[in-house]
Chain A
Amino acid sequence: MLAFTLRRAIQAVGVMVAVGIIAFSMFRFAGDPVSQMVSIDTSGAEREAIRKTLGLDDPVIVQFGRYINNAARFRFGTSYQFRQPVTNLLMERMPATLELAICATIFAMVFGILMGVYSALRRDTWLAHLFQAISLIGISLPTFLIGILLIYLFSVTLGWLPSFGRGEVVRIGWWTTGLLTLSGLKALIMPSITLGLFQMTLIMRLVRAEMLEVMRTDYIRFARARGLTTRAIHFGHALRNTLVPVITVAGLQFGSVIAFAIITETVFQWPGMGLLFVQAVQNVDIPIMAAYLMMVSLIFVTINFVVDILYTIVDPRLRSTVSRAH
């Protein structure tokens, strides 16, 4: 178990170093950092001075070491457009993105599992067919179109929900939350659905397929032969065995949800990291782009690592093979 954890940890660090190289290359080679920081009439001498203070004359490997060192302490330099430390900008916006991503994931899990279980157990009912149709639409409609459609329905036509922003937020330490006010909660509804819909269809398809697969297994047949109630078979045995892979996938998808939030945040002008990133791409604000890449990668790698470890805890078979492997 320890060897397994260690191996996974080394892999995770490897990926982070690779991402660090990409982020550093972006920062260093994609355009000249100095020219981004000065105005056109800055003299050559002044440019040289800035170049020196940034250490851009040092050997590349030294610069890379410095970049990684800083990144490890969450220092990503100064934004070209905001003239503020990138870290501050990201931290300010992180609660908005995380709250949105968590709400979207909960929405996706709850409805995805319910719809998936229903369409697996009642395969030929009209409701199951409706769910299948919804899943096809959820996969085919681009996220931003769904957002626009929801805004048109619930903001423009019905006027029930706000079309942009987080509503009123409450500050708790450095964290800001929209979960404690009515307007904050209302503002969360449409962005969460927009962001979660794709995951929901994914989870629904997965639950349905897994459940149908599990229902065909010998141990379900044996459970029936033991005279267990339908309820115990469906929800005790079949669902539990279905949920192991489903939770893994949903967990692994959480990183994607954060990345996909870029689109949702733009549609709803949600003040999160994604919106910051989109603006950075438009304005060629490389330090923010590089920092965002590092942050999202870190989240990805952490989740992958945690899910791998959790998986072995949930599934007893893996636990012993893993501990036997070393």
Chain B
Amino acid sequence: MTEPVLSVRNLQVEFASRRGTLRAIDGVSFDIAKGEVLGVVGESGAGKSVTGLSVIGLIDPPGRIAGGEIYLAGRRIDNLPPEEMRRVRGKRIGMIFQDPLTSLNPLYRIGDQIVETIRTHLNLSEQAARRRAIDLLAEVGIPAPEKRIDGYPHEFSGGMRQRVVIALAICAEPELIIADEPTTALDVSVQAQIISLIKRLGRDHGTAVMLVTHDMGVIAETSDRVAVMYAGRVAEIGPVQDVVKNPLHPYAKGLMGAIPTLAGDDKRLVQIPGSMPRLSAIPRGCSFNPRCAFAFDRCRVERPEPLARGAQSVACHLYDSVPAESAA
């Protein structure tokens, strides 16, 4: 394999607040290869969205990237000057936000918004850009695109609007798409369509996809690999089958236990006791230790670093010099 499309190394993001500096992301590292879908999962506030926004360079003050590096196809992008980073956004990295209802400017026709984006990044004439816009709309599954291109956002349903948003994200053939909860705001019936659309686009164009969601079901269906985040850190990362079937981190175990299965066994869903700590009150040692059933003294003092276990990587003291069997 060649170089990964996206490589995040030891990322740290801080927010200045009245109560001092809060660390939203603390030492996150992962890679995404060409054509690969990486699912990023975790509770709200775990730092999934902030990670996505850091990659595309949209962390606004009072937030800032405090450390680490982000590489896009081998080239460092987290320290690019604003104007160069702008050229990367939309052209080499496309982004899809959660709420399609508010992602589009209500006063512009969707065609104008697509053409505007295409012409910002590609050297095309107005007509050529418009033809490309129609093709894009067709590709994301909008019926009668040559007619719908002149519609205003409010004339589209939620699912159709999310398709428009996706068309906007891929209109300059980006190498990477960051999809931040792309289905959360949609009807359940539409969610599956959007998910398979994103998956198909990634496959057809060889695009790497970073899929941020709190929905393990979506990840299991779409992703090649999955990163489980907790309190601004990656708890576990690995191939999706391994992590779903054999989660290593106690938090990942809890998370997998919390997925209802269609098999219908009458085991009660497992619940993780407590809730994720606020950024201002992250405990010492492993941030999961107050909720962890396996926590021991070391967990309350020392922060666990990622350890390789086969194809998986887990940040948990249970796997450090202790045979895996005793933990499982």
* Chain A positions near chain B (C-beta within 8 angstroms): 217-219, 221-230, 232, 236-237, 240-241, 244, 315-317, 320
Contact = CB atoms under 8 A, between A and B. Distances in A.
A229 B86 contact: yes
A228 B105 contact: no
A202 B86 CA distance: 35
A274 to B, nearest CB: 37
Nearest to A228: B120
30 contacts: A218-B97, A218-B99, A218-B103, A219-B103, A219-B104, A222-B103, A222-B104, A222-B165, A224-B89, A225-B94, A226-B95, A226-B117, A226-B169, A227-B89, A227-B91, A227-B117, A227-B120, A227-B121, A228-B86, A228-B116, A228-B117, A229-B86, A232-B116, A237-B108, A244-B107, A315-B107, A316-B107, A316-B154, A317-B152, A317-B154
B56 A225 contact: yes
Contacts of A225: 56, 58, 89-90, 94-95, 97, 169
A163 to B, nearest CB: 45
B152 A316 contact: yes
A227 B104 contact: no
Interface of B: 56, 58, 86-91, 94-95, 97, 99, 102-108, 116-117, 120-121, 152, 154-155, 165, 168-169, 172
A70 B328 CA distance: 96
A228 B90 contact: yes
B120 A240 contact: no
Contacts of B155: 320
A317 B88 contact: no
Given A218-B99, A229-B120, A224 B58 contact: yes
A187 to B, nearest CB: 40
Nearest to B87: A227
Contacts of A221: 58, 97
Contacts of B88: 227
A59 B94 CA distance: 77
Given A225-B95, A225-B97, A227-B89, A240 B107 contact: yes
B255 to A, nearest CB: 28
A230 B104 CA distance: 17
Main secondary structure of the interface of A (DSSP, over half): helix
Given A225-B89, A227-B86, A241-B107, A320 B58 contact: no
User: Which residue of A218, A226, A317 has the most chain B CB atoms within 10 A of its CB atom?
Assistant: A226
A180 B87 CA distance: 50
A217 B107 CA distance: 13
Contact of B168 (A226, A232, A240, A241): A226
Nearest to A220: B105
Contacts of B97: 218, 221-222, 225
Contacts of B56: 225
A223 B103 CA distance: 8
A123 B89 CA distance: 25
Given A244-B107, A316-B106, A222 B116 contact: no
Given A226-B117, A227-B86, A315-B107, A217 B102 contact: yes
Nearest to B174: A227
Nearest to B52: A225
Given A225-B58, A227-B120, A317 B106 contact: yes
Contacts of B99: 218
Contacts of A229: 86, 120
Nearest to B180: A225
A155 to B, nearest CB: 45
Contacts of A218: 97, 99, 102-103
A226 B89 contact: yes
B168 to A, nearest CB: 6
A168 B155 CA distance: 55
Nearest to B106: A317
A123 to B, nearest CB: 11
A213 to B, nearest CB: 13
A241 B105 contact: yes
Contacts of A230: 86
Contacts of B105: 219, 223, 237, 241
A238 to B, nearest CB: 9
A53 to B, nearest CB: 60
A9 B154 CA distance: 28
A218 B87 CA distance: 20
A84 B116 CA distance: 62
Nearest to A225: B95
A226 to B, nearest CB: 4
Nearest to A318: B154
A230 to B, nearest CB: 8
User: Which residue of A222, A223, A232, A237 has the most chain B CB atoms within 10 A of its CB atom?
Assistant: A222
Contacts of A224: 58, 89
Given A225-B97, A315-B107, 15 more contacts: A219-B105, A226-B89, A226-B95, A226-B169, A227-B90, A228-B116, A228-B120, A230-B86, A236-B116, A237-B108, A240-B107, A241-B105, A315-B106, A317-B106, A317-B152
Contacts of B120: 226-229, 232
Contacts of A219: 102-106
